[in-house]
Amino acid sequence: MTECELFDTIVEQLRSSDAAIRCMDLTSKLESLGFEVRNGKKSGHMIFVHQGIASFTSGSYTCGHGRNSEIKPIYIKNILKLLKRYKTELIKYLGGENEH
C-alpha cells in the first residue's frame, strides 16, 4: 500500500465510521500517519502533534469515559478537516511521491 493509499484508506474509514470509532482505533490510525498521541491534562483527553508538519501545532480529542469508549462525531469531523488540510505534508512525511 502506498502512502497516498494509506492516507485515503484512513480518511475513508473515519468518514464512514458514523461515530462508531473507538479511542484506541483512532489513536492507532493517527499514529500510522506519523502523529504522536499522548494523554492530555484531564482523564480521557488526548493531544496529538506531528514533527513532520512545521505549520501544525497540535490537535485534540476526548475519549470519553470508560475503557476504549467511542469518539464523539465532532472530534472525527475536526480530525478529518485537519487531515484534509495537511494531506500533502502528511504524504510527503510518509515518503510518498504519489500525491493527488
| Cβ neighbourhood burial of 68 (10 Å; 0-12, 13-18, 19+) | exposed
Q: What is the mean pLDDT of residues 57-72?
A: 85
| 6 and 93 Cβ atoms separated by less than 8 Å | no
Give residue 95's pLDDT. Answer: 84
Taking residues 30-35, report their average pLDDT: 96
Examine the pLDDT at 98 and tell me if it is beyond 60. Answer: no
- Say what the pLDDT of residue 20 is: 78
- Per the structure block, which three cell numbers stand in for 57? 501545532
In whole angstroms, what is the distance from residue 1 CA to residue 92 CA?
15
Between residues 66 and 39, the one the model is more confident about:
39
pLDDT score recorded for residue 18: 64
99 pLDDT above the threshold of 50: no
Does the pLDDT of residue 61 top 50, yes or no? yes
Percent of the chain scoring above 70 in pLDDT: 92
CA–CA separation, 31 and 36 (whole Å):
6
Q: Show me where the domains of the chain are located.
A: 3-93
